[in-house]
């Protein structure tokens, strides 16, 4: 991830997203990162934190509800799957009578893997490449099965809240890397989905790499690329800690940083609390928590 810092032009020029496509897009309101730790149980293989996921989806729905709405509209679900019970004929009829969705949903959501994909990727070494090795090829397949199954669950969770979500896998839309840095990342389909009124749901994925065959493209790298390309009003990181710390938050001495000032050139300094040597040339990962 860090390898890319300071190379935004290289990333942007490698995308085949046309200027015309970009110009036709109204300003993006928000990119939200759902941290893997916030929506899955990190210590239990492929286990979703159902309560957190429900809460996150409800908060996102609230964030997309325009302020002018005096009373929140009835939530009509868009997941009409068998496992939710009988066919939702009454919901479908209510949609039929609705004039508009009343959502300001100009959002992109990117999620991490949490307890999905990590086991498969780390045991097979997908991040190190080498698809000629049967173990790496099998691990690539196993990793994609795991992360796409999480993506489907998140799309379902958001759709149940009435958010018109569409899953878009970076691998499927042809994103690739070169020695782990983004080499090709066409965002055309993401932009077209936004223009059509959908919320694209992307995820960290196993992708092809020009030099080492394959690697893992993390949700954070995807967000950085999309933020540089689409210039959203906000980038919001939902995670399981209170914000950015001066060291790993599991360290009992870790201190929460209250205010970080970022200059135009990307250099930064910590304003609150007042710490010695708290300056840097590269932008740290900003964490803002929604309540």
- Indicate the annotated binding residues: 113-114, 118, 219, 240
* Closest CB to its own copies among residues 123, 272: 123
Cβ 3 to its own copies shortest distance, Å: 23
For position 215 contacting its own copies by CB under 8 A, the verdict is no
For position 78 contacting its own copies by CB under 8 A, the verdict is yes
Site for its own copies in 138-177 (CB under 8 A): 138-142, 144-146, 148-149, 152, 155-156, 159, 164-169, 171-174, 176
* Closest CB to its own copies among residues 127, 268: 127
For position 107 contacting its own copies by CB under 8 A, the verdict is no
CA distance 163 to 156: 9
Cβ 152 to its own copies shortest distance, Å: 6
* Closest CB to its own copies among residues 30, 208: 208
* Closest CB to its own copies among residues 116, 268: 116
Cβ 224 to its own copies shortest distance, Å: 21
Cβ 254 to its own copies shortest distance, Å: 31
Asked whether 222 and 17 are in contact (CB, 8 A), the reply is: no
Options 25, 41, 76, 227; binder of its own copies; rule CB under 8 A: 76
Listed in sequence order, the residues at least 6 apart from 84 whose beta carbon sits closer than 8 Å to its beta carbon are 77, 160
Q: Which residues in this chain contact its own copies in the complex, by CB under 8 A? A: 45-47, 76, 78-83, 87, 89, 92, 95-96, 98-101, 119-120, 123-124, 131, 134-135, 137-142, 144-146, 148-149, 152, 155-156, 159, 164-169, 171-174, 176, 186, 188-189, 192-193, 196-198, 208, 213-214
């Amino acid at each position: 991830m860090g390898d890319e810092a300071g190379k935004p032009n290289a990333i942007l020029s490698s995308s085949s997203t046309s200027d015309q496509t970009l110009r036709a897009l109204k300003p993006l309101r928000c990119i939200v990162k759902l941290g893997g730790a916030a929506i899955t149980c990190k210590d239990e293989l492929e286990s979703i934190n159902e309560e957190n996921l429900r809460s996150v989806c409800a908060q996102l729905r609230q964030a997309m509800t325009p302020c002018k709405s005096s009373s929140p509209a009835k939530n009509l679900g868009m997941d009409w799957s068998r496992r939710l019970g009988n066919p939702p004929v009454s919901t479908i009829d209510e949609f039929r009578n609705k004039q508009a969705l009343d959502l300001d949903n100009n959002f992109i959501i990117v999620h991490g893997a949490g307890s999905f994909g990590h086991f498969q990727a780390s045991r097979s070494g997908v991040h190190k490449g080498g698809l000629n090795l049967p173990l790496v090829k099998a691990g690539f397949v196993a990793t994609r099965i795991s992360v796409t199954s999480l993506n489907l669950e998140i799309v379902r969770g958001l759709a149940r809240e009435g958010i018109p979500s569409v899953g878009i896998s970076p691998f499927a839309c042809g994103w690739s890397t070169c020695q782990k840095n983004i080499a090709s990342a066409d965002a055309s389909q993401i932009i077209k989905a936004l223009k059509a009124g959908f919320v694209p749901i992307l995820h960290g994925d196993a992708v092809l790499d020009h030099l080492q065959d394959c690697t893992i493209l993390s949700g954070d790298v995807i967000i950085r690329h999309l933020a540089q390309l689409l210039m959203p009003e906000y980038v919001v990181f939902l995670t399981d800690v209170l914000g950015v710390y001066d060291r790993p938050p599991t360290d009992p001495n870790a201190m929460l940083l209250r205010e970080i000032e970022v200059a135009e050139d990307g250099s930064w300094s910590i304003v609150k609390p007042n710490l010695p040597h708290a300056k840097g040339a590269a932008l740290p990962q900003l964490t803002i928590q929604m309540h």
